[in-house]
Amino acid sequence: MSSYEKINYSLRPAKHIERKMMAEVFRHLPSFGDIASYRYIGFGSIYFSDFYLFHKILGINDMVSIEKDEHNEKRFLFNRPFKCIDVKFGSSLEVLPKMTWEQRSIIWLDYDGTISKDVLADVEYLSSSVAMGSIIIVTLNAQPERVEKDDPVDRAVDLLKTKVGDNNVPTDITGHSLRKWGTALAYRRIIHNKVMEAIANKNGGRTHSNKINYKQLFHFNYKDGAQMLTVGGIIYDEGQKQLFNVDFLKDKFDFLMTEDTPYEIHVPNLTYREIRHLDSLLPGDLSDTDINIPLEDLSSYKTIYRYFPVFAESEH
Amino acid sequence: MSDNVIHANPTKDFFIHMLTKDIPLIRAIIDLVDNSVDGALRLDRTNDYSGLNVDITVNETEFIIEDNCGGIPLEVARNYAFRFGRPPEAKLTPNSVGLFGVGMKRAIFKMGNYFEVESKTDDAHFIVKQDITHWSQTDKWEFGFENIENGQSFLSKIGTRIIVRDLHESISERFKLENFITELENQLQAAQQISLNKGLTIKVNGKKLKSQTLMFYASDSIKPGTTQIKLQAYPTVKIKIFVGIYERDLTKGGWYLFCNSRLVLYADQSIETGWDDASNGLPKYHPDFAYCRGYVYFESEDASLLPWNTTKTGIDTDSSIYKAVKQEMIKLMRPVTKWLRSNLAEEKKELGEEGELHTAIASAKVIDIFEIFEEQASSEFIAPKFIKPDTTGLVSIQYKVSRDKAEQAKKSLSVTSYSDVGRETFDYYYKWGIED
């Protein structure tokens, strides 16, 4: 069963925050031309939340949703929020190679599950096919593997090697390092290495100014039930390096992460009344509210309040 | 008279190109480690390499390999180590891995344009430094060296240090990738596992390689098969073959072949080792055979007799020694493939993974090929037979229903598999619709 049958995507607050943060960054990438001229490719499922946001906020009107549930075609087509969304049925592994890549694209592969050889194949394919200025993002379930007490120490590493192939797992990763959020860190590294490998292969035949580069923009960790990882960045060529200034973006957005340190999205547990009250104090100092909200939650809320979902209350 | 002469000498550029093109980069690096292993052999330490180290540094600006395995004697350096090809008068190190006289040069030329080879032995300490672009432009096939006085070098102990700089761009780009380093470590580990198991320490960028050993499942009812072969025409070549089963892994099943200490074939599933050979061979490699493992060890003081090709990455299938051994390999492996197909796979069809044979595998011990082997092996692979449950008078009923309905039935009957749903619903109807 796909996870859409169990979760109502549009109520996942951390995901909502992540989406809004990414939209903000996309809006501020003027260097590669008008963002509205980009194509957006994602896994919309039946809720199409990302499509909804990116069309409304960024004006992107060339949109493709890839859907692997081919049996419920009518339902997916019915639920498209806008006419400009094309739904292609099949797995990303099948669909992506059939598409054309001249147009700059934002591709967000928000997988249901964990890392796999197919995920790496998609990453490799995209890294070596997209137009310069394109952005590739991957979201994965990064819950650590369950390991029993009497399993050998590195059983989790063996499981990881089975999932992605021996040569894709750096040799310093141990069962110990995969505990808790270590699995997310390992996945990020594996994906990053695959991108670098793919573009190095492509660069073999290229002169210096045509050499392809990748700069990471996003590295999110959050919990939505399961531990989740999002990693993504922009593909550009050496000749256009000056057009693309990450430092300017880093000053503006503290959640832009270009290295192996993740940005953790904490969603504090607050009531609607508390949210409205805190909003009325922001931007500003929240430390002297005397409602007994834990300081940690206050601090989390202050960091992300602008991206927090807006809830509508109903009478009950 | 001298006008009727056609100059046929090779240009150095052509030579370098031909020399380096038929070997992948990682294999070339493994060859350099082979030289260190041969150095270890010359130190007369046949089974214990503890205390011997090989340190490899790989990054975008340089490649360094440094060992304390004896160094290159000056006479060897002068007359053999830098020649291309092994001159007939050069003595072969007994049981050596290096053979063809190209490993070091080929690796260096493959990687970059500048090299230094420094060696320290008991009675000599010298260094060869060369810019290859420069060298290619002269006609002389020689290198100059300097003797080193005290204090001027990197080597304090006896050993060899090779450094390559001014790396070719494509090499430098690959050395930057973490995935390349991972692949290098994995392949080195596999290729040099015998030396690693004897205690040799190999490090890549400071990280020590783990020794991995070849394993089998063994128990009272499952025994690997083994045989030793002596060939009349080649009395100095020793051959041992082991076959059996281990973890089901499609990419790891097949034949592993060693020549002296070097792994030459890894999980081979091709016709070269007898698979898919209609005339007197094994069947085509198939997922059923993902459990099978065959390990073949060729050992000889005279490495030139061993059936490897010049890149040491494969078998010289024309070798008469190999042809003879291959027959024995196939004979020994046949009971394994037969068992996997007609017993284990059959049991899986009938009983899933709960049958006796699958349970025997799950509860078997894992034995390490180097250690307790002798007690657990027999001359032929042994494993329990699958006895088909008596299905005379039984038929199979098969049909498709909607998933939703099937899930509802599963819940309501409190069973976990669709086949149980089939069984329960049939029994239910039979009881209420027929028996009464």
pLDDT confidence bin for A276, thresholds 50/70/90: confident
Contact B177 A196 (CB under 8 A): yes
* pLDDT exceeds cutoff 90 at B146: no
Report the phi/psi class of residue A19: left, alpha or beta, with left for phi > 0 and alpha for psi in -120 to 50. Answer: alpha
| Burial status of residue B414 (CB atoms within 10 A of its CB: 0-12, 13-18, 19 or more) | exposed
What digits encode the pLDDT tens for the residues B157-200?
A: 789 999 999 999 999 999 999 999 999 999 999 889 889 988 99
Contact A204 B173 (CB under 8 A): yes
Q: Does A172 touch chain B (CB under 8 A)?
A: yes
The DSSP-derived string for B49-64 is -TT-EEEEEE-SSEEE
pLDDT confidence bin for A3, thresholds 50/70/90: very low
Residue B327 φ/ψ, nearest 5 degrees: -60, -45
User: Other CB atoms closer than 10 Å to residue B253's CB: what's the count?
Assistant: 24
Average pLDDT over residues B371-384: 73
* pLDDT exceeds cutoff 80 at B347: yes
Res A251: pLDDT: 83
Residue B331 vs residue B395, higher pLDDT: B331
* pLDDT exceeds cutoff 70 at B379: yes
Average pLDDT over residues B420-432: 91
Distance (Å) from the alpha carbon of A89 to chain B's nearest alpha carbon: 21
Res B308: pLDDT: 87
Given a contact cutoff of 8 angstroms between Cβ atoms, the answer to whether B110 and B28 are in contact is: yes
**Per mean pLDDT, which of A133-147, A261-275, B94-108 is the most reliable?**
A133-147
Q: Alpha helices of B43-131 — where are they, by DSSP H?
A: 74-76, 103-111
Q: Does B182 touch chain A (CB under 8 A)?
A: yes
What digits encode the pLDDT tens for the residues B28-38?
A: 999 899 989 88
Q: Does A166 touch chain B (CB under 8 A)?
A: yes
| SS percent in chain B: helix, strand, coil, step 5 | 40, 25, 40
Res A190: pLDDT: 98
Q: Of B83, B90, B131, B126, give the one whose Cα is nearest residue B104.
A: B83
* pLDDT exceeds cutoff 80 at A290: no
Average pLDDT over residues B303-310: 84
Residues whose CB is less than 8 angstroms from the CB of residue B94 and which lie 6 or more positions away in sequence, other chains included = B41, B301, B302
Q: Does A213 touch chain B (CB under 8 A)?
A: no
Res B53: pLDDT: 94
Q: Which two tokens stand for residue B155?
A: 């080597």
B306 three-state secondary structure:
coil
Contact A203 B183 (CB under 8 A): no
Block residue for tokens 């300017």: A248
**Dist. CA A301–CA B269, nearest whole Å:** 58
Average pLDDT over residues B69-77: 80
**Dist. CA B354–CA B9, nearest whole Å:** 69
Distance (Å) from the alpha carbon of B177 to chain A's nearest alpha carbon: 6
Distance (Å) from the alpha carbon of A206 to chain B's nearest alpha carbon: 11
* pLDDT exceeds cutoff 80 at A124: yes
* pLDDT exceeds cutoff 60 at A1: no
**Dist. CA B209–CA B195, nearest whole Å:** 11
| The CA-based dihedral angle spanning residues B248, B249, B254, B255, taken in that order and rounded to the nearest 10 degrees | -100
Q: Which two tokens stand for residue B262?
A: 């070097």
Q: What one-letter code names the amino acid at A159?
A: L
User: Other CB atoms closer than 10 Å to residue B139's CB: what's the count?
Assistant: 7
* pLDDT exceeds cutoff 70 at B97: no
CA angle B97, B98, B104 (to 5 degrees): 135
pLDDT confidence bin for A179, thresholds 50/70/90: very high
Distance of CA A89 to the CA centre of its chain: 21
For residue B179, give the nearest of A168, A203, A204 by CB distance. Answer: A168
Q: Which two tokens stand for residue B403?
A: 């998933």
Percent of chain A with pLDDT over 70: 93
Percent of chain B with pLDDT over 70: 90
- Arithmetic mean of pLDDT over chain B: 85
Distance (Å) from the alpha carbon of B249 to chain A's nearest alpha carbon: 9
Res A4: pLDDT: 36
**Ordered strands of the B292-300 beta sheet:** B225-231, B234-245, B292-300, B254-259, B262-268
Q: Which two tokens stand for residue B333?
A: 């492996």
Given a contact cutoff of 8 angstroms between Cβ atoms, the answer to whether B332 and B339 are in contact is: no
**Dist. CA B425–CA B333, nearest whole Å:** 45
Average pLDDT over residues A149-156: 80
Residues whose CB is less than 8 angstroms from the CB of residue A110 and which lie 6 or more positions away in sequence, other chains included = A42, A43, A50, A139
Given a contact cutoff of 8 angstroms between Cβ atoms, the answer to whether A85 and A65 are in contact is: yes
- Arithmetic mean of pLDDT over chain A: 88
Residues whose CB is less than 8 angstroms from the CB of residue B249 and which lie 6 or more positions away in sequence, other chains included = B290
pLDDT confidence bin for A97, thresholds 50/70/90: very high
User: Other CB atoms closer than 10 Å to residue B402's CB: what's the count?
Assistant: 8
Res B178: pLDDT: 96
* pLDDT exceeds cutoff 90 at B42: no
To test the contact with chain A by mutation, choose from B179, B187, B208 the residue with the greatest count of A C-beta atoms within 10 A, namely: B179
Q: What one-letter code names the amino acid at B18?
A: M
For residue B182, give the nearest of A167, A196, A200 by CB distance. Answer: A167
Distance (Å) from the alpha carbon of B134 to chain A's nearest alpha carbon: 25
Residues whose CB is less than 8 angstroms from the CB of residue A307 and which lie 6 or more positions away in sequence, other chains included = A16, A17, A20, A21, A24
Residue B46 vs residue A174, higher pLDDT: A174
pLDDT confidence bin for B71, thresholds 50/70/90: confident
Q: Does A168 touch chain B (CB under 8 A)?
A: yes
Given a contact cutoff of 8 angstroms between Cβ atoms, the answer to whether A17 and A267 are in contact is: yes
B250: closest chain A residue by CA: A162
Given a contact cutoff of 8 angstroms between Cβ atoms, the answer to whether B167 and B60 are in contact is: yes
Percent of chain A with pLDDT over 90: 58
Given a contact cutoff of 8 angstroms between Cβ atoms, the answer to whether B330 and B274 are in contact is: yes
Lowest mean pLDDT among B110-114, B205-209, B325-329, B414-418: B414-418
Res B88: pLDDT: 65
Lowest mean pLDDT among A105-119, A140-154, B162-176, B261-275: A140-154
Q: Of A303, A296, A251, A305, give the one whose Cα is nearest residue A276.
A: A305
Average pLDDT over residues B236-263: 90
The structure's pTM equals: 0.83
The DSSP-derived string for B11-46 is PHHHHHHHHHHTS-HHHHHHHHHHHHHHHHHHTT-S
To test the contact with chain B by mutation, choose from A163, A167, A192 the residue with the greatest count of B C-beta atoms within 10 A, namely: A167
**Per mean pLDDT, which of A96-110, A229-243, B410-424 is the most reliable?**
A96-110
Size of chain B, expressed as the number of residues it contains: 436
Lowest mean pLDDT among A86-95, A186-195, A268-277: A268-277
Q: What are residue B346's DSSP bridge partners?
A: none
Q: Alpha helices of B155-275 — where are they, by DSSP H?
A: 169-176, 178-191, 193-197
What digits encode the pLDDT tens for the residues A6-56?
A: 334 347 889 999 999 999 999 888 666 688 999 999 998 888 999 999 999
Given a contact cutoff of 8 angstroms between Cβ atoms, the answer to whether B42 and B54 are in contact is: no
Res A275: pLDDT: 83
